[in-house]
Amino acid sequence: MRRHGVQRILQQLSMPSLKVLLLIGFSCLFWSCGKDAERPKTKPLLPQSAFALDLPNSEFAMGKGFSIDPNYLYVSDGGSHTIKQYSHAGKGIRSFGGIGEGPGEFASLQHLTVRDGLVFALDRTMFINVFDNQGEFIDKIHLSSAMTETRAAVDAEMNIYIATPRLSSPISVYNLHGAYQRGFGRWLGDRPEDIQRLNENARFLFINEAGNLISVSRAKAHIEIYAHDGILLRERQLRYDRHFLPFFTKVDDYYEEKPWKWERSTFEVVRDVVLIRDQLLILHCGDDTSADNLMIVDVSEDRIGQGRHFKLKGKDGSHITSRLMAAEADRLHVYDSRLNWIYLFKLPSS
């Protein structure tokens, strides 16, 4: 009976009507496949181990410093203005620094950068304390200006690169003794408001194995590669990547409807960035279905790869709220601000 009913319906349809229905059906199928192809293809990245941080979450958040070398993890304690040193397995080793105006002391400890056994600790009041990896104070470097929401980069000659959007050049270079060497870089964005101008030009800075400077804008997810002399070699705006576009469209629509909120906005697309073996690891919020998205981009020599996408997960596959990362060899340490834990991930092979 059912077969005869279907035949009766087909007989009642004219040939043009049948063609239209078939065309609509194939169009819907094609559109559906196309939408699936446009969805970000991400893989879950599960941790190998984790340890609880013996430091209150609020104090770590005040400091925002998290770095690593082949032997130790370094965490800035924003409460006591000290640097806490751990083994890679989470065992506490020592603390150094402190609040004050003396050698090795801080007024407002912020970010940490490690290079060749030296720890460069950036203070919000525009100076850097330098320690060795045993916590011994080496020197204090005074800066003309700094954007403390970014971290310093140190090259093989111990030149220090700092994002300085309050000066005429957005990137400044100092030597190890604190003497200003030069400034370079291009201004990003076209927002006239001061807070947006500063936020768009707050940069994460790194040195790749070829000696080129890698710059990543915190607010615009814009990657630039500069030669040692400050010449721009290559750039890429990540917002045009299909993984970022839906999220940016949502944000742009929001500010178009509420333009008065833009002036006081400090919206950040990039939460943290680390560089390891010419692989740029970008913790971003480009996919609004998850807060823990990791993009790995090859930035060897002067090239910028397309990127591979992962979602950071807890040990049981649960959601984590990550803000800071540190990477060394094939290990990625991620700070989970919700549980106040540090997770260890093994980086996926390229």
22-36, 216-230, 313-327: the lowest-pLDDT one: 22-36
The CATH code of the domain that includes 326 is: 2.120.10.30
For residues 61 and 344, the model is more confident at 344
- Note the pLDDT tens digit of each residue in 88-117: 988 999 999 999 989 999 988 888 999 999
The two three-digit tokens of residue 21, written as one number: 């229905």
Task: Give the Cα separation of 53 and 90 in Å (integer).
Answer: 8
Q: Write down the pTM of the prediction.
A: 0.80
57 against 81, higher pLDDT: 81
Q: Is the pLDDT of residue 324 over 80?
A: yes
Q: Is residue 12 part of a domain?
A: no
Residue 173's nearest CA partner among 229, 255, 99, 104 is: 229
21 within a domain of the structure (yes/no) = no
Report yes or no on 27 lying in a domain: no
How would you write 87-115 as a 3-class SS string? ECCCCEEEEEECECCCCCCECCEEEEEEE
Q: Does any domain span residue 1?
A: no
More confident residue, 13 or 251: 251
Per DSSP, the three-state class of 276 is: strand
List Cα–Cα distances, 321 to 48, 125, 148, 215, 282, in angstroms. Answer: 17, 29, 22, 25, 15
Residue 98 sits in which domain range? 42-346
Amino acid letter, residue 104:
G
Tell me the pLDDT tens digit for each residue of 266-279: 556 788 899 998 99
Residue 35 located in a structural domain: no
Examine the pLDDT at 120 and tell me if it is beyond 70. yes
Three-state DSSP class for 218? Answer: coil
- Is 166 inside a domain boundary? yes
Q: Tens digit of pLDDT for each residue in 194-209?
A: 655 677 778 899 999 9
pLDDT digits (tens, 9 = 90+) for 25-38: 444 444 444 444 44
In a domain, 16, yes or no: no
**Structural domain total, the chain:** 1
* Dihedral over alpha carbons 335, 340, 345, 350 (to 10 degrees): -30
Q: Which of 161-175, 181-195, 199-213, 305-319 has the lowest mean pLDDT?
A: 181-195
Element at 226 (helix H, strand E): strand 222-226
Give the amino acid at 27.
S
Residue 336 lies in a domain: yes
- DSSP letter, residue 317: S
